[in-house]
């Protein structure tokens, strides 16, 4: 038996796992079970690494709720055996996927670190090696015989973020993610520095891990824009079986006050559709009732998303609607921070 941390590397797809075929110049997925042969540097890390890969790796644009459950089950089934998990996905939908996984795991006591890269691991100028190596180091990090991280995170370009706070902000630069409403949990320079006061501390070390898998996908993101028509709003709010709407409003949660708009929202809420107000702004918080233009939303029963990201709001909605809560329970729980996705003071 070894005392080294045991790390499970889960490869779902995305650019990070690709190499260039030097004859054709095309990018192709490589056999992830050979990662240690491909990147011998990994052997220098003070841990044992096992890998598991999706049978058919996917571009993260094809991510869906079945794959969310697949990722969650891989972690659940090996939870006892491993000390930490590093999940590789494409960066395009990583903020969504890692947010959903954060809600699916209740009483998580071990690190789950999502990462990927902008350039394939086989590329000369790749960002993949640093992202992968540091993510594994983060997953191994311990203090007083306990993991330093016991939450779902996203590591990219020298920064470790709380996953459910992230947004992909750049399709080109190595710094592809931002966490506008919460500072990085760790930064990698000469040393790996953890901002310990910002980390999520599990409430009770003895609580059993619960994995919530009943995700409801009858949800939609409705982004407002000046000039949006009644027909558009009406047709979205009357989609068959619709259960939840993340309403992307302006600024601090403001929306048109026109009667037709408020009436449509009211009707949808009466039809048992949950509506959550999030801001279109990259940073800041919804404060319902701050302006006249959000008082009406509050009155008809729209739930305040506070400073949650859109990615996290849709993830939390899929999870909470899956739990079949009453209107009041949904509001109370949505407006409470479950996994650090909402700031206390917002």
Among 7, 8, 9, 14, binds ligand ASP (CB under 6 A): 14
Closest to 120 (Cα-Cα) out of 23, 42, 13, 9: 13
Q: Quick one: how far is CA 234 from the chain centroid?
A: 29
The two tokens of residue 76 are 């659940």
Smallest gap, in angstroms, from Cβ of residue 157 to ligand ASP? 12
Piece of 56-64, 208-216, 277-285, 320-328 that binds ligand ASP (CB under 6 A): 56-64
Site for ligand ASP (CB under 6 A): how many residues? 10
Q: Which of 99, 181 has the CB closer to ligand ASP?
A: 99
Tell me the three state secondary structure of residue 237: helix
- By CB under 6 A, residue 12 contacts ligand ASP: no
Tokens 């192709």 -> residue? 28
Residues 87-116, interacting with ligand ASP (CB under 6 A): 90-92, 116
d(Cα 153, Cα 146) in Å, to the nearest integer? 17
- By CB under 6 A, residue 15 contacts ligand ASP: yes
d(Cα 30, Cα 88) in Å, to the nearest integer? 13
Catalytic annotation present for 65: no
Smallest gap, in angstroms, from Cβ of residue 172 to ligand ASP? 11
Residues 61-90, interacting with ligand ASP (CB under 6 A): 61, 90
Q: Which of 2, 12, 15, 293 is catalytic?
A: 15
CA distances 169 to 91, 95, 172, 258, Å, are: 10, 10, 9, 33
- Residue 27 and residue 57 in contact, taking contact as beta carbons nearer than 8 Å: no
Smallest gap, in angstroms, from Cβ of residue 63 to ligand ASP? 8
- By CB under 6 A, residue 147 contacts ligand ASP: no
d(Cα 247, Cα 226) in Å, to the nearest integer? 14
Q: Which of 65, 337 has the CB closer to ligand ASP?
A: 65
Among 53, 60, 167, 179, binds ligand ASP (CB under 6 A): 60
The residue of the chain with the least Cβ separation from ligand ASP equals 90
The two tokens of residue 215 are 């995700």
Straight-line distance from the first to the last Cα atom of the chain, in angstroms, rounded to the nearest whole number: 47
Binding site for ligand ASP (CB under 6 A): 13-15, 59-61, 90-92, 116
Residues with catalytic roles:
15
């Amino acid at each position: 038996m070894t005392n080294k941390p045991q790390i499970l590397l889960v490869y779902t797809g995305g650019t990070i796992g690709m190499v260039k075929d030097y004859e054709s110049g095309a990018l192709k997925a490589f056999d992830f079970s050979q990662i240690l042969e491909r990147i011998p540097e990994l052997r220098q890390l003070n841990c044992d690494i096992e890998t598991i890969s999706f049978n058919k790796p996917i571009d993260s644009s094809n991510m869906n709720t079945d794959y969310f459950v697949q990722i969650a089950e891989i972690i659940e089934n090996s939870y006892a055996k491993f000390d930490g998990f590093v999940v590789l996905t494409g960066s395009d939908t990583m903020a969504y996927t890692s947010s959903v996984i954060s809600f699916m795991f209740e009483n998580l006591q071990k690190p789950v670190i999502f990462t990927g890269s902008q350039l394939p691991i086989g590329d000369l100028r790749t960002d993949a090696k640093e992202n992968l190596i540091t993510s594994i180091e983060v997953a191994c990090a311990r203090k007083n015989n306990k993991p330093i991280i016991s939450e779902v995170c996203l590591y990219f370009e020298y920064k470790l973020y709380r996953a459910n706070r992230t947004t992909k902000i750049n399709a080109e630069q190595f710094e592809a993610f931002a966490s506008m409403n919460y500072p990085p949990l760790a930064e990698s320079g000469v040393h790996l520095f953890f901002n310990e006061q910002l980390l999520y501390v599990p409430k009770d070390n003895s609580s059993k891990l619960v994995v919530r898998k009943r995700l409801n996908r009858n949800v939609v993101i409705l982004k407002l824009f000046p000039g949006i028509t009644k027909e558009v709003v009406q047709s979205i709010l009357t989609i068959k079986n619709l259960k939840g709407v993340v309403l992307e409003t302006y600024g601090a949660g403001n929306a048109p006050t026109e009667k037709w708009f408020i009436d449509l929202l009211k009707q949808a809420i009466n039809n048992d559709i949950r509506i959550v107000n999030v801001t279109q702004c990259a940073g800041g918080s919804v404060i319902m009732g701050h302006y006249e233009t959000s008082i009406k939303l509050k009155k008809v029963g729209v739930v305040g998303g506070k400073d949650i990201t859109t990615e996290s709001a849709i993830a939390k909605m899929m999870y909470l609607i899956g739990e079949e809560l009453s209107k009041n329970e949904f509001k109370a729980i949505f407006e409470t921070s479950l996994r650090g996705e909402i700031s206390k003071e917002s």
